[in-house]
Amino acid sequence: MKLPYLFRPDLIALSVLLTMVSSYTAFGFIDILSTTTGRRRHLWLVASAAAMGFGIWSMHFLGVQAFLPHESATYSIPLVLVSLGGAVFTALTALFAVVRRTQTPLVQLTGALLMAGGIFTMHIAGVAAIQASPAVSFHPTAALLTALVTIVGCGVGIKLAAHSQTDRGKALLSRSIGAVFAGLGMAGLLFLCLVTVSLPAQFAPLLQPWMGSADSLSVVGVAGVTALIAAAALLSTSMDRYLDKEARIKTAMIAQLQKSNALREAIVDSALLAIISTDSNGVIRSVNRAAVQMLGYTAEEMVGGMSILQFHDPAEVEEQAIRLSVQLQRGIPADFEAITTLTGDQLLDEREWTYRCCDGHTVPVRLSVSPLQTGNQQSGDMPGDHGFLVIAQDITAQKNAEQTMRRMALYDPLTGLPNRTLLEEQIMRSLALAGRHRLQVSLAVIDLDRFKQINDSLGRLAGDEVLLVLARRLEEAVRTSDMVVRLGSDEFVVLMPGIVHPRQSQDVMQRVLQALSEPIFLEGQELYVTPSIGISAFPNDGHDLNTLLRKADRAMYKAKSRGRNAVAVFSSEIESEPSSLLAMDSALRRAIKRNEFFLVYQPIFHIATGNVVGVEALIRWQQPDGSVLSPVEFIPLAEETGLIFKIGEWVLRTACAKIGMFSRAARGPLRMAVNISPYQFRDPQLLSCVKDTMESTGIEPAQLELEITEGVLLDDSSEAEETIHRLRALGVQIAMDDFGTGYSSLGYLKRFPIDRLKIDRSFVTGMESTRNDQTLTEAVIKMGHSLNAQVTAEGVETALQWQYLHEQGCDDAQGFHLARPMRAEQLLEFLLDRAARAGEQEATGILAHLPIAGFDVN
């Protein structure tokens, strides 16, 4: 029998309400399940499924009660349990499907099918549990339709719930709406399901009294229990969420704290400065990696066990304690307090200390010490311990740089001896001390005799080598209290403090004289350098460095004038007589002004023909008293004073101006050989000077031959090479003077394009007596020719020498046997005479082979 559909609205409303509450609770479960893992997740799943399933089942039960009321009906307990199981299964599959991390249509469809199966089981078993006869029956088509609707509904539900998981921002609203819809939907489904049920006829009489009657006990019980379970579930999910949120916040805070601690540690550890924290007594609490590296102790050795004081030099701590005691007018102990006293609130003490490391070596450090308090009093934390933060910077590099700069400023780079600046500092102290103790201070000026010649002939490198040897000898010869200073190129000073008697300083200088005069062995050669020494003394000769230096200088010149290699002590007599060298300097200047210089010319002969092919210009100085000085006597001084440039230029212009006249007298172009000092050669103006001279005098470039010495090539060969190339580019000839006396090697000759080699006089002189010199001369001639250079022999004094040179194929020769150097007018006569005789001989068929000696003006 099909009964009319009568139902109790109050139970329906209650059922729908419970479904909504259950659905809302379900969202809470979903939330928790989606954030928990492991065992907790499983427990929550079971509990959630049970609570949710019971809620659904209650809704079903109340729905059934609302539609199929009969007071006296009994229920099959197994079927009721199956129905309840269906509800729990529904909840379980729904939760599973929603909280699955991978949401695919297949997952959601499977979930929907299983859920629908659960709901169906719940309803069919629930209705079938009503024990009536005949049994409650179902309308199959309507049941199928209901099943389909249930599946679709479940699918949509799972999708919506899964979606609400991703949009948590609108969680409360969407969950509330979702819960309302879920309640209405599930109830709708239930009721749709129920209308497919056919009730047996015996239910009819029961219907009437049920209409609007009071609740049965079971209905109230189920509704109450469900409400309680829902409330408990709601509370527990909320609590769980709250606790979970708290736990997450705490975990996040701990993680953040750990992260920032790790970052802080990493920063401190990666700092290049040594960072050490100590307690208030200096006991180390923490160290960073740089501190471990700098001090050489392990972190374990330092932390807790060591005091920072152990790194400090006790003498420095003591010194600082004394300084602070004076400054603060209270006793500061020489311990950790001396390091930290100047630190305070906001105060940082920065100063340099010396740290002693584990292996005993010391490191200069700049230390910043500041107070350190752990904990935060303001925030009410435990008032932390007081301590100190010590930051140490290794300033070894800076100290080294400072030392290098000091060395550069105060010491001579070649010899490492103190320079004038340091002498000035030192002499002030020495004079002050000597004044207090009524002692004397002696100052000795040491000048090396003819050192320039070594430089010129052996080159600057060899000169430096000699200076180094002499500097060491000087240091060894003086007393330990004396100070050896290098003032200039070959000028040294010895400061001798604490002199009681002048004899002492003279004794020291006699030792110096002896030590410096010893031979020097350099590159297989034995060199002799002698010093000239002048001594002055405080307080008799002066009270300051300049006066003492000037007077020691005068004494030194006196020593030189006595024949060099001597010691002279300053005296009033020396002061009154003009220094010969100083006098020479001013006399040279005067000589330039008064044209006291003149040139003599020595003819150069072509050996094969005997013809005069050139002349060499040689300077002389005629002094006001009529005496004539040799260039050997004044050229070195002119070089030292720089007057050589002026004098050299004058020689070049004067000689070149005469060549036209000489060539006319000789009836053929002659070449003019001019000596160029190494100083002139290095002068950047040389090239323009030569060009100007050629232009103004009209000399053909090929007629001009510049004689240079071997020394210039050794100085800075690249520059010398450049100068030679540029001179040759002008068309000027270059001759290598005094060949064989210096360091000329085939290597140099190949590198420098030389037009002529001049064999030194010493070899030519020795040719007659020594076979060796003969061989050497022959070799030089061959070598010169192999390099396409002409060869001139100097100092030919005998016919035999001339003969030898002729046989050996030497190109040109000059020497007293051929012609002496002569004044211009004498040379003119000489040339004219030769030309005339040559003309006569030519007319008579005899060649002028024999040269005629010139006038001697030496």
Ligand X SMILES: Nc1nc2c(ncn2[C@@H]2O[C@H](COP(=O)(O)O[C@H]3[C@@H](O)[C@H](n4cnc5c(=O)[nH]c(N)nc54)O[C@@H]3COP(=O)(O)O)[C@@H](O)[C@H]2O)c(=O)[nH]1
Q: Which of 226, 288, 506, 675 binds ligand X (CB under 6 A)?
A: 675
Minimum distance, C-beta of residue 795 to ligand X, in the bound complex (Å): 4
Q: Is 387 in the site for ligand X (CB under 6 A)?
A: no
The distance of closest approach from Cβ of residue 734 to ligand X in the complex, given in angstroms and rounded to an integer, is 14
Q: Which of 640, 716, 768, 797 binds ligand X (CB under 6 A)?
A: 797
Nearer to ligand X, 252 or 799 (CB): 799
Question: Cβ closer to ligand X: 126 or 815?
Answer: 815
Residue (109 or 657) nearer to ligand X, CB: 657
CB atoms within 10 A of CB 631: 17
- Phi, psi for residue 680 in degrees, rounded to 5: -65, -40
Cβ nearer to ligand X, comparing 412 with 737 = 737
Binder of ligand X out of 654, 677, 733, 790 (CB under 6 A): 677
- How far apart CA 811 and CA 826 sit, in angstroms, is 25
> Which of 451, 681 has the CB closer to ligand X?
681
CB of 616 to ligand X, least distance (A): 6
Q: Are strands 756-759 and 733-739 parallel, antiparallel or unpaired?
A: parallel
In DSSP terms, 384 is beta-bridged to: none
Closest CA to 369 of 339, 398, 345: 339
Smallest separation (angstroms) from ligand X to the CB of 617: 6
Number of other residues whose CB lies within 10 A of the CB of residue 652 = 26
The first and second tokens of residue 406, run together, are: 């000091």
Q: Are 671 and 733 in contact (CB under 8 A)?
A: yes
Query: Which of 240/794 has CB closer to ligand X?
Result: 794
Interactions with ligand X, residue window 342-381 (CB under 6 A): none
The SS3 assignment for 194 reads: helix
Taking CB under 6 A as the criterion, the residue among 616, 705, 755, 812 binding ligand X is: 616
Quick one: 158 or 713, whose CB is closer to ligand X?
A: 713
Query: Interface with ligand X by CB under 6 A: which range of 95-103, 227-235, 278-286, 613-621?
Result: 613-621
Structure letter (DSSP) for residue 304: T
Contact letters (x/-) for ligand X, 748-767, by CB under 6 A? Answer: ----------x--x------
CB of 422 to ligand X, least distance (A): 37
Shortest reach from residue 662's CB to ligand X, in Å: 17
Q: Residue 91 burial (CB < 10 Å; 0-12/13-18/19+)?
A: buried
Is 297 or 679 the residue whose CB approaches ligand X more closely?
679
HEC assignment per residue over 62-128: HHHHHHCCCCCCEECHHHHHHHHHHHHHHHHHHHHHHHCCCCCHHHHHHHHHHHHHHHHHHHHHHHH
Q: Does 678 bind ligand X (CB under 6 A)?
A: no
Smallest gap from Cβ 661 to ligand X, in A, equals 19
Closest by CA to 15, choosing from 47, 52, 51, 60, is 60
Nearer to ligand X, 284 or 600 (CB): 600
Neighbours of 476 (CB within 10 A): 11
Site for ligand X in 454-473 (CB under 6 A): none
CA-CA distance, 676 to 538, in Å (whole number)? 44
490 binds ligand X (CB under 6 A): no
Nearest-approach distance from CB 700 to ligand X, in angstroms: 21
Give whole-number Cα distances, 413 to 274, 293, 369, 410, 416, in Å.
36, 35, 40, 9, 5
Kindly indicate which of the ranges 161-169, 336-344, 421-429, 614-622 contains the residues binding ligand X, using the contact rule CB under 6 A.
Answer: 614-622
Q: Are the C-beta atoms of residues 24 and 47 closer than 8 Å to each other?
A: no
Measured from the CB atom, the residue of 13 and 628 that comes closer to ligand X is 628
Judged by CB, which is closer to ligand X: 537, or 781? 781
Min CB(673)–ligand X separation in Å: 7
Residue 818-857 contact track with ligand X, rule CB under 6 A, x = bound: ---x------------------------------------
Contact window for ligand X (CB under 6 A) among 93-101, 407-415, 478-486, 615-623 = 615-623
Instruction: List binders of ligand X among 806-825 (CB under 6 A).
Output: 814-816, 821
Determine what percent of the chain falls in helix, strand and coil, rounding each to the nearest 5: 60, 15, 25
The tokens of 66 are what? 């609302």
Q: How far is the CB of 476 from ligand X (least distance, A)?
A: 36
CB of 702 to ligand X, least distance (A): 20
**Which residue from 581, 618, 791, 831 is in contact with ligand X, where contact means CB under 6 A?**
618
Q: Kindly tell me which of 531 and 795 has the beta carbon lying closer to ligand X.
A: 795
The 10 Å Cβ neighbour count of residue 175 is 21
Q: Which residue from 602, 611, 744, 790 is in contact with ligand X, where contact means CB under 6 A?
A: 602
Q: Between 552 and 764, whose beta carbon lies closer to ligand X?
A: 764
Q: Whole-number minimum distance, CB 853 to ligand X, in Å?
A: 10
Select 353 or 802, whichever has its Cβ closest to ligand X. 802
377 vs 139: CA distance, rounded Å: 80
Q: At what angle do helices 171-194 and 9-35 cross, to 10 degrees?
A: 130
Q: Taking the complex as a whole, how short is the minimal distance between the CB of residue 612 and ligand X, in angstroms?
A: 15
Q: How far apart are CA 224 and CA 220, in angstroms?
A: 6
CB contact set of 635 (below 8 Å; sequence gap of 6+): 619, 644, 647, 677
CB of 501 to ligand X, least distance (A): 45
Rg (CA), the chain: 60
DSSP alpha helix (H) spans, 100-216: 105-128, 140-166, 171-194, 204-210
Considering only residues 775 to 794 of the shown chain, the ones binding ligand X according to CB under 6 A are 794
> Any contact of residue 391 with ligand X (CB under 6 A)?
no
Closest to ligand X by CB, 513 vs 759, is 759
Contacts (CB under 6 A) with ligand X, residues 726-745: 737-738
Which of 730, 786, 787, 726 is CA-nearest to residue 754?
Answer: 787
Tell me the site size for ligand X, rule CB under 6 A. 23
Contact 234, 28 (CB under 8 A): yes
Distance in angstroms (rounded) separating the CA atoms of residues 811 and 614: 12
Return the residue of 84, 136, 619, 732 that touches ligand X, per CB under 6 A: 619
DSSP tally for the chain: helices H, then strands E: 31, 26
Of 686, 816, 810, the closest CA to residue 758 belongs to: 810
> Minimum CB separation from ligand X for residue 671, in Å?
14
Give kind and range of the element (H or E) at residue 659: helix 644-666
Q: Are 309 and 339 in contact, with CB atoms under 8 Å apart?
A: yes
Closest distance to ligand X from the beta carbon of 706 (Å): 10
Q: Which is nearer to ligand X, 274 or 618 (CB)?
A: 618
Cβ atoms within 10 A of the Cβ of 33, count?
A: 22
Strand order in the sheet with 274-279: 284-287, 274-279, 386-394, 362-373, 349-356
- Which member of 68, 485, 651, 686 binds ligand X (CB under 6 A)? 651
Chain position carrying tokens 């001049």: 758
Considering only residues 620-649, where is the footprint of ligand X by CB under 6 A?
630-632, 635
Instruction: Give the DSSP H/E element, type plus range, for residue 706.
Output: strand 704-708
- Out of 28, 784, 795, 851, name the contact with ligand X by CB under 6 A: 795
Chain residues binding ligand X by CB under 6 A are: 602, 616, 618-619, 630-632, 635, 651, 675, 677, 737-738, 758, 761, 794-795, 797, 814-816, 821, 858
